[in-house]
Amino acid sequence: MISAPLRKPEYTARVIEWHADKGFGWLQFGDKRLFLHRRDFSRLHQLPKVGEEVRFNWGLDAQLRPCAQNAVQVREVSDLSLLGLCFLAALLVPPAYAWQQAGWELWILATYVCILSLITYATYAGDKSRARKNAWRISEAHLHLLELAGGWPGAWVAQGRLRHKCSKKSYQFMFGMIICIHQFVAFDSLQHWKYSQSLKREIIEGREPTRPRYRP
């Protein structure tokens, strides 16, 4: 059995010195100065400023000196735009329409999604708070489970407003897949589950052993 690779712990520190012309600077990590180069940012929105908070992994440079790696600027400014909210509303239409066409009351779905979205948002906020305090983090699997259960709208808002989990490509890929699953289920239900039934038949037929032909 192959064990999953351990995720590197994340730390948070502030920039105490930055040379924009040279593209490097230092973080104040406890009582130590930690080197930070521009290339070690996993996603660079703009050049960091002195006093700005940065989240990073501990690493070593080519000379085996301690440095910050996979750095991400911790922005407090919300990235939740009106266009993003409109797109979110558009994604909510197919599931809501499919639910209504199935004969269920729309307020039941709205209540469920709102409650689960609030829980998901609070979980995102709690995980970001733990990241700042270098405390034990909430697992990504736990966050994805909440999204899959129906809290993905809350995760959408949390990622934009809290600027959390929005720069990790692998996480965003899984988040996008979860949204696609919800959209597919809504679409397939409107088609009387034609595609899921077809997929089920393909899986069952693929598992059935091939019977040898009888030869007299």
Residue 80's CB: how many other CB atoms inside 10 A?
17
For 112-160, the pLDDT digits (tens) are: 999 999 999 999 999 988 876 777 889 999 999 999 999 999 999 999 8
End-to-end CA distance of the chain, in Å?
Answer: 46
Are 66 and 58 contacting, i.e. CB atoms less than 8 angstroms apart? yes
Domain boundary among 37, 54, 73: 73
CATH of the domain at 57: 2.40.50.140
Closest CA to 117 of 150, 94, 142, 85: 150
Task: Report the pLDDT value the prediction gives residue 76, as an integer from 0 to 100.
Answer: 54
CB under 8 Å to 54, separation ≥6 — which residues?
12, 13, 14, 15, 27, 36, 48, 68, 71, 72, 73, 74
Q: Kindly report the average pLDDT of the chain as a whole number.
A: 84
138 and 86: one domain?
Answer: yes
Q: How many domains does the chain have?
A: 2
